[in-house]
C-alpha cells in the first residue's frame, strides 16, 4: 500500500516543553487515521510540523515517499488546522471562488464540494448567516477544492452540538469512502472509534499505541468466575489452563486475563470435568475507553 506520509523520530521542544518526543508513524493511502491524545499531548504541533507551519527540533518527515519537495507535496494536501475564516459578507460560493483563485485551481469543483458537505442548497447564503457546523463544513469544502490526496483536520467537531458533530463525522466518512486518505487529531476517543480505521495514541508527545482501531479493542478480554465450593481449587485449575495469563481476586470473584481467544463454554467444560461447578461465568472485554485511559494514565 502506498505511503502518503512518514514521520521518523520527530521531535519538537518549546523551551523546556517537550511537545513531540521521538514520534514515528506512517500514513498509508486510503485509510482514516486518528491522532488521539489528551489536551496538550502534541497533536496540533505534530500537524503543524508536517504542514510546514511549525519548525521541528529534530527528526524527519517525508511526503509521498520523498518523491516531491514538501512545497510540491503540500499542493496535494487539504488541511484545516485553525478555525475556519471566510469573508462574512460573501456567500459560500463567492468565498470558495476566492480560495480557488488563491490556490490556483479552477472553479469547476465548487458545486461538487458544496454537495459533499451538504451546503449546496445554501451556496448563495452569506457566510455570516452560517451556523458553526456549517462554517466548519464550508472549511472542509474549501480544503477539498484541489482534490487532495489527503485531508488533515485538527479537532474537526470541537464546539459543535450533537447534530453538528454527527453531520461532520458522516461527511468525513463519505470523503474517505471516495478514496481520500484522512488524518485527524482528536482528544475524543469516541470520535476516533467511530470515524478512524487506524489510531496513533500519544501522551506528552510520546507514542503509546499505533495500529488498527478495532485491534485496540480486540484484546482477548477476561473472564469473571465464581464458585460456591472450592475457590482455591478453581484458582489452581485456572492457573494451569493454557491461555490464561494472570488471575486476580475482586469482590469474591476471580478475574482471569486471557492471552488468547478462549470461549466461555471451553473453560466451563474444563472446570466441570475437573469437579468445579461455577455459579458465575461472564466473558468481558475492556472497552476502548478503559484501554485508552490505562494507556494515557498509567505510563
Ligand atoms: N507556540 C508554543 N509555544 C510554547 N509552547 C507551546 C506552543 N505550542 C504548543 N505548546 C506546548 O506544547 C505542548 C503540546 O501542545 P499541542 O497544542 O501540540 O497539543 P494538542 O495535543 O494539540 O493539545 P490541544 O488539543 O489542547 O490543542 C503543550 O504543552 C503546549 O502548551
Give residue 204 CA to ligand 1 midpoint distance, Å.
10
DSSP class of 292: H
In this predicted structure, what is the pLDDT of residue 299?
43
Q: Is the CB of 296 under 6 A from ligand 1?
A: no
Domain with 117, as residue range(s), is: 3-217
Q: Which of 10, 12, 17 to mutate to test the pocket of ligand 1 (most atoms within 8 A of CB)?
A: 17
Q: Is the CB of 39 under 6 A from ligand 1?
A: yes
* Tens of pLDDT, residues 164-208: 999 999 999 999 999 999 999 999 888 998 899 999 999 899 998
Residue 16: partners with Cβ closer than 8 Å, 6 or more residues away: none
Low-confidence ranges of the chain (pLDDT < 70): 215-219, 286-292, 294-299
- Regarding beta strands 77-80 and 150-154, do their DSSP bridges make them parallel or antiparallel, or are they unpaired? parallel
The structure's pTM equals: 0.79
123 and 244 in one domain? no
**CA 112 → CA 165, 174, 175, distances in Å?**
22, 13, 12
- Regarding beta strands 17-28 and 3-14, do their DSSP bridges make them parallel or antiparallel, or are they unpaired? antiparallel
- Ligand 1 atom having least distance to the Cα of 185: 22
User: How many domains does one find in the chain?
Assistant: 2
* Tens of pLDDT, residues 138-152: 999 999 999 999 999
CA nearest ligand 1 atom 7, residue:
14
239 and 197 in one domain? no
Q: Is the CB of 180 under 6 A from ligand 1?
A: no
190 and 142 in one domain? yes
Give residue 45 CA to ligand 1 midpoint distance, Å.
6
> Does residue 7 contact residue 59 with C-beta atoms inside 8 Å?
yes
Give residue 59 CA to ligand 1 midpoint distance, Å.
18
Give the residue carrying C-alpha cell 474444563: 270
195 and 165 in one domain? yes
114 and 78 in one domain? yes
What gap in Å lies between CA 48 and CA 12, rounded to an integer?
Answer: 11
167 and 32 in one domain? yes
- Ligand 1 atom having least distance to the Cα of 54: 1
> Does residue 201 contact residue 296 with C-beta atoms inside 8 Å?
yes
Amino acid at each position: 500500500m502506498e505511503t502518503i506520509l512518514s514521520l521518523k523520530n520527530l521531535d519538537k521542544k518549546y523551551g523546556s516543553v517537550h511537545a513531540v518526543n521521538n514520534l514515528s508513524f506512517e500514513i498509508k493511502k486510503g485509510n482514516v487515521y486518528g491522532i488521539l491524545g489528551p489536551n496538550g499531548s502534541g497533536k496540533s504541533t505534530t500537524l503543524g510540523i508536517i504542514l510546514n507551519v511549525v519548525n521541528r527540533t529534530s527528526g524527519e518527515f517525508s511526503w509521498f515517499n520523498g518523491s516531491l519537495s514538501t512545497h510540491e507535496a503540500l499542493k496535494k494536501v487539504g488541511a484545516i488546522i485553525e478555525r475556519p475564516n471566510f469573508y462574512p459578507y460573501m456567500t459560500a460560493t463567492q468565498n470558495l471562488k476566492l480560495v480557488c483563485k488563491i490556490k490556483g485551481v479552477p472553479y469547476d469543483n465548487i458545486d461538487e464540494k458544496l454537495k459533499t458537505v451538504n451546503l449546496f442548497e445554501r451556496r448563495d447564503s452569506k457566510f455570516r448567516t452560517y451556523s458553526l457546523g456549517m462554517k466548519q463544513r464550508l472549511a472542509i469544502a474549501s480544503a477539498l477544492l484541489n482534490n487532495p490526496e489527503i485531508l488533515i483536520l485538527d479537532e474537526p467537531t470541537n464546539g459543535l452540538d450533537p447534530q453538528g458533530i454527527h453531520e461532520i463525522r458522516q461527511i468525513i466518512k463519505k470523503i474517505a469512502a471516495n478514496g481520500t486518505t484522512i488524518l485527524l487529531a482528536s482528544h475524543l476517543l469516541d470520535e476516533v472509534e467511530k470515524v478512524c480505521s487506524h489510531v496513533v495514541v500519544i501522551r506528552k508527545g510520546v507514542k503509546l499505541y499505533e495500529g488498527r482501531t478495532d485491534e485496540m479493542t480486540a484484546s482477548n478480554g477476561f473472564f469473571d468466575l465464581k464458585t460456591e465450593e472450592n475457590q482455591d481449587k478453581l484458582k489452581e485449575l485456572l492457573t494451569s489452563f493454557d491461555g490464561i495469563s494472570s488471575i486476580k481476586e475482586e469482590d469474591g470473584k476471580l478475574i482471569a486475563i486471557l492471552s488468547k481467544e478462549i470461549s466461555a463454554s471451553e473453560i466451563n467444560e474444563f472446570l466441570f470435568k475437573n469437579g468445579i461447578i461455577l455459579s458465575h461465568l461472564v466473558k468481558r472485554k475492556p472497552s476502548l475507553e478503559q484501554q485508552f485511559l490505562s494507556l494515557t494514565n498509567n505510563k
